């Protein structure tokens, strides 16, 4: 079994991870996974192991469990020919201790960062393009107005909040040498510089990435599996900013609320 290098791409949803993954996948020695459930699978196996009466009543040891979990992790993408695997699994931010137990090398994370007002604006925009999506219906079923404030709250609590908390856990738990922050706007405005930082962080050979005619082999059935939000993972062929002005979409009050929330999250680990 050829040993692969495993790294992790984590972000709050709507931070550009889909197009960033497509760009990275141009490197023929690198495979960026689609959204994967490896962390959930491994957690389920661990929970089953610890609850099972056979384990509880016999002299099973912790090393056995770690060996089983490590085997699952390492075999999950072993069928790929690429030597570098970039795991696209946001849940690892909440399971770093478990992840380090099954990795031979220190964890290394690329965190794709974007300001909260822009993230929330992107969710509202994709919702507006898909009337009667699941999140819209959840607001409607509460018998309250489906206005921007209530839709934003629904997206915040259903999708965004957990991964914003995951961001804090990453920066609180990992050493600076273990995490690379790539800002969404920096990626759009100066992609070459950001990809050089990425290569330096992982000690990779240089690759000439292209930022036009971007494609992806990964196909998501967004409408079916992502609560009716068709186009959630659509990739633009050219790397450029097309997002709407957050203040215009959210309104000044809601915009300021997410600015302050963003500051409170960042200040918690920048102090």
For residue 208, give every residue at least 6 positions away whose Cβ sits within 8 Å of its Cβ, in sequence order, or none: none
Residues 163, 93 contacting (CB under 8 angstroms): yes
pLDDT of residue 265: 85
- Give the β-pairing of 30-32 and 84-88: parallel
Q: What is the dihedral of CA 68, 73, 75, 81, to 10 degrees?
A: -160
pLDDT of residue 1: 54
pLDDT of residue 53: 83
| 231 φ/ψ sector (left φ>0, alpha ψ -120 to 50, else beta) | left
DSSP 144-187: S--SHHHHHHHHIIIIIHHHHHHHHHHHHHS-GGGEEEEEHHHH
CB burial class (10 A; 0-12, 13-18, 19+) of residue 195?
buried
Q: How many CA atoms lie within 13 A of 102 on its CB side?
A: 23
Residues 77, 31 contacting (CB under 8 angstroms): yes
pLDDT of residue 141: 95
Going by C-alpha positions, the residue among 76, 74, 82 that lies closest to residue 31 is 82
* Tokens coding 147: 């206005």
pLDDT of residue 249: 94
Q: What are the residue ranges in the chain where pLDDT is below 70?
A: 1, 268-271
For the entire predicted model, the pTM comes to: 0.93
pLDDT of residue 99: 95
Angstrom distances, CA of residue 257 to CA of 125, 163, 181: 18, 18, 24
pLDDT of residue 268: 58
pLDDT of residue 224: 81
DSSP 8-state class, residue 104:
S
pLDDT of residue 269: 57
């Amino acid at each position: 079994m050829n040993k692969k290098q495993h790294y992790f791409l984590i972000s709050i949803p709507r931070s550009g991870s889909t197009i960033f993954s497509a760009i990275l996948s141009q490197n023929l020695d690198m495979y960026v996974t689609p959204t994967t459930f490896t962390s959930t699978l491994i957690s389920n196996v661990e929970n089953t192991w610890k609850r099972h009466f056979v384990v509880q009543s016999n002299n099973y040891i912790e090393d056995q469990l770690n060996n089983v979990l490590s085997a699952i992790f390492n075999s999950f993408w072993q069928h790929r020919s690429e030597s570098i695997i970039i795991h696209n699994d946001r849940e690892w931010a909440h399971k770093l201790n478990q992840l380090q137990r099954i990795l031979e090398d220190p964890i290394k994370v690329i965190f794709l960062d974007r300001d909260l007002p822009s993230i929330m604006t992107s969710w509202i925009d994709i919702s507006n393009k898909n009337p009667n999506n699941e999140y819209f219906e959840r607001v409607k079923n509460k018998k309250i107005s489906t206005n921007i404030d209530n839709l934003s709250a629904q997206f915040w609590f259903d999708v965004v909040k957990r991964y914003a908390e995951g961001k804090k856990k990453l920066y609180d738990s990992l050493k600076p040498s273990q995490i690379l922050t790539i800002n969404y706007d920096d990626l759009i405005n100066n992609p070459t510089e950001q990809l050089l930082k990425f290569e330096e962080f992982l000690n990779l050979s240089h690759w000439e990435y292209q930022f036009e005619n971007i494609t992806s082999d990964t196909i998501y059935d967004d409408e079916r599996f992502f609560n009716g939000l068709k186009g959630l993972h659509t990739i633009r062929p050219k790397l450029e900013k097309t997002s709407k002005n957050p203040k215009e979409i959210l309104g000044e009050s809601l915009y300021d609320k997410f600015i302050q929330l963003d500051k409170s999250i960042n200040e918690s680990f920048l102090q």
